[in-house]
Amino acid sequence: MKIIVTGGAGFIGSAVVRHIINDTSDEVLNVDSLTYAGNLESLTSVEGSDRYHFSQTDICDTAAMAALFEEFQPDAVMHLAAESHVDRSIEGPMAFVQTNVVGTCSMLEAARGYWQKLTAEKQASFRFHHISTDEVYGDLEGTDDFFSETTPYAPSSPYSASKAGSDHLVRAWHRTFGLPVLVTNCSNNYGPFHFPEKLIPHVILNALHGKPLPVYGDGSQIRDWLYVEDHARALYTVVSTGKVGETYNIGGHNEKRNLEVVETICDLLEELRPEKVDGVQRYRDLITFVKDRPGHDARYAIDADKIQRELGWVPQESFESGIRKTVQWYLDNTAWWQRVLSGDYRLTRLG
């Protein structure tokens, strides 16, 4: 296949691009506007492939996207480009509406214009895969409930509300125009090349520098953690074998309290990097409880039975194996995250 991946310089998008180039024979056009979280240095291992192409383009520019469709002639779109940090959505919600809602509408229109001109055979095989989040469902009160593909939407933050809106647009373009779409909703991702503002890399890097490890509230919030490379494999499985019009929830089967995640990272660092900065006796001593986030969801948990039953996907990593790989990756790749923290990674941008 020839696949357009939007947001391919981001955390999950770059994992998808690396998976496609390294593990399939498909061709990729990475479309990314390179906002602050887009990092081309996450793709240095594949940028030399003749099956990899890059375009610095804003998905909100429908005309530019339509031109890329005509030039590249894709068989599928994997739409990951999105603003995704909840705290940033509280501080500046308009950017999230622009990218996640308007940008998705722009992508749908560019894809529809391209798809309508294809032959009947190519129309039937074309796929528009929209990648979303479990946060559109709100949160779960009990400890036994799980999000399923039919759980009603109840987003809590500007981020999750904007993603919910984009999900609705994708399904509407399928219902109204017949565009062959797929939707996936995933749990919290973690792994290599994760932008340091997110919980796990933030804790790792703060610990290495002897800085406080902030935990919202009492740290009792529960998340289902999905190793990003498992997610990339799941997404490729869906775009290549999923049923048109269907939604698939993707989870890691790893529910952990936020405090437990932070403590696990501290314990791994005690083992893997026992040498600490001056003044730090134990990494756990750096844990600091801070005022809770407004509208903070208590628990997310995914029922991923459908994708396993219908498409045969299961995660390969447990949380224990995945978090160890993640901590070790940050210890082994200081040049990558130091350039992110300093802002030097922006020097690799094009245009």
Instruction: Determine whether 283 is an active site residue.
Output: no
Contact 311, 239 (CB under 8 A): no
Please report which residue ranges of the chain form alpha helices under DSSP H: 11-23, 62-72, 86-91, 93-96, 103-115, 120-125, 158-177, 199-208, 228-241, 258-272, 305-311, 319-332, 334-342
List 134, 229, 230, 263, catalytic entry: 134
Residue 204 tokens read as: 């790792």
**Phi then psi dihedrals of residue 183, to 5 deg:** -125, 135
Active-site entry in 58, 135, 139, 297: 135
Give yes or no for a contact between 292 and 151, defined as CB atoms under 8 angstroms apart: no
The amino acid at 277: V
The verdict on whether 135 is a catalytic residue reads yes
Instruction: Tell me which of 52, 137, 159, 248 is the catalytic residue.
Output: 159
| Catalytic annotation present for 137 | no
Phi, psi of 315 (to 5 degrees): -65, 145
Residue entry with tokens 């528009």: 128
Task: Compute φ and ψ for 223, nearest 5 degrees.
Answer: -130, 150
Q: Which of 211, 188, 232 is nearest to 341 (CA)?
A: 211
Q: How far apart are CA 253 and CA 335, in angstroms?
A: 32
Residues catalogued as catalytic: 134-135, 159
